[in-house]
Amino acid sequence: MKITKNTSGNTTTLALQGRLDTVTSTQLANELSAIFEGEAVNLVFDFAALDYISSAGLRVLLTAQKKVNVLGTEMKIIGANETVKEVFNITGFSGIMIIN
């Protein structure tokens, strides 16, 4: 998986390419840990090039959502394909995350 990070003002966008699964979820978790060490920021996940997400990937996103809630900032997911959106719907994550 490839992660491209872009910060503009108080918003950090992470564009993910490839698969977010057991093997790659640690990479995203580490990236998020570094982000959360700094100032409180809004997070945008750009999933336009994300092919697949597993339960391990969902766990990382849920942890990030909880952290954002504590910080009082916002997190949203944009560009997810229909397969990834279906995973969010089936698991109920679409009810607790902003998914555009």
Q: In one letter, which amino acid is 44?
A: V
Neighbours of 79 (CB within 10 A): 16
Distance of CA 29 to the CA centre of its chain: 9
Angle at 99 between CA 94 and CA 100, to 5 degrees: 140
Residues 6+ apart with CB under 8 A from 62: 93, 96
pLDDT digits over 52-98, tens only?
999 999 999 999 999 999 999 999 999 999 999 999 999 999 999 99
Neighbours of 4 (CB within 10 A): 11
Q: In one letter, which amino acid is 93?
A: F
- Whether 1 has a pLDDT exceeding 90, the answer reads yes
pLDDT digits over 6-53, tens only?
999 999 999 999 999 999 999 999 999 999 998 889 999 999 999 999
What's the CA gap between 76 and 98, in Å, rounded? 5
